[in-house]
Copies of this chain bind each other. A is one copy, B any other.
Amino acid sequence: MCRWAAYLGRPIFLEDIVSRPGHSLIRQSHGAVRCQTPVNADGFGLAWYGERDEPGLYRDVMPAWSDPNLRSLTATVKSHLFMAHVRASTGTATSRNNCHPFAVGRWSFMHNGQFGGYDTWRRAAELLIPDALYPHRKGATDSEALFLCALGEGLEDDPRGALARATARFEALARQRGTAPHVRLTCAFSDGRRLYAARYATDDHAPTLFHRWSDSRAGRAVVSEPLEVDEADWLEVPPGSFCVFEGDTVTITPFVVQPLREAA
């Protein structure tokens, strides 16, 4: 499983989320603290919003903890909205093009989870990507394909609906051609203004999703796992939820994936 963290609020240095907390994303990637989960050493990535509409994007295949560029970037770049991801691949070769977050125009997207038997229906998933977006298909991951499919379903105008429709299509493929568990998904994405997140699974093991507002920081962290073990006020988002984070407001609504008869 991968891990990720996002932030929305008063601008902070990226390191305040990515590397400084006791259970920061980079420490989580090392797996040294608890070690009940596999290490996340198969690449990492950052997407951050600044003056421009498009996010900055930094992705590499080294373990996050040993990259001096990452350390310097997170120590000097400030942002009011950013996402960070550490990856644990499942056997395939590591490549920058397979690292999260993915970005198209002003949208960025990252994901933790899996689609059952994806390798056997990868091509079918890629056929769900509209022609106009296909040049953005750079790697081979299910996550990038889901993002591009969701963009095609209208992410811009209807974030929740578009993600639900894209997920439904992937779920149908997993049910028809793949294996169980069909879908386990916890993702975050943004257009640079709002931060969105969803938690969903076809079984009882939806990957976790937490958020926490910090008064001192005037901002909110949204994460796959809490960043500090001794902070009691992390709020867990229940499975089947869609979150919209804007300013200091959280709006959580059901995330309903309508079963499809046909995948494509």
On A, residues with C-beta under 8 Å from B are 30-32, 35-36, 38-39, 41-42, 48, 50-52, 54-63, 66-69, 72-73, 75-78, 89, 93-97, 119, 122-123, 126, 131, 134-135, 137-138, 140
* 8 A-B pairs with C-beta separation under 8 A: A32-B38, A42-B63, A50-B78, A52-B76, A61-B66, A73-B73, A97-B97, A123-B126
Could you tell me if A59 and B63 are in contact, using CB atoms closer than 8 angstroms?
Answer: no
Q: With a 10 A CB-CB cut-off, give which of A42, A63, A123, A137 has the most chain B CB atoms.
A: A63
**Besides A67-B93, A138-B140, 16 new A-B residue pairs in contact (Cβ under 8 A), listed by A number:** A32-B39, A41-B66, A42-B63, A50-B77, A52-B76, A55-B76, A61-B62, A63-B94, A66-B89, A67-B94, A68-B93, A68-B96, A93-B138, A95-B95, A122-B135, A137-B140
Residues on B with C-beta less than 8 A from A66 are 41-42, 61, 89, 93-94
Could you tell me if A39 and B39 are in contact, using CB atoms closer than 8 angstroms?
Answer: yes
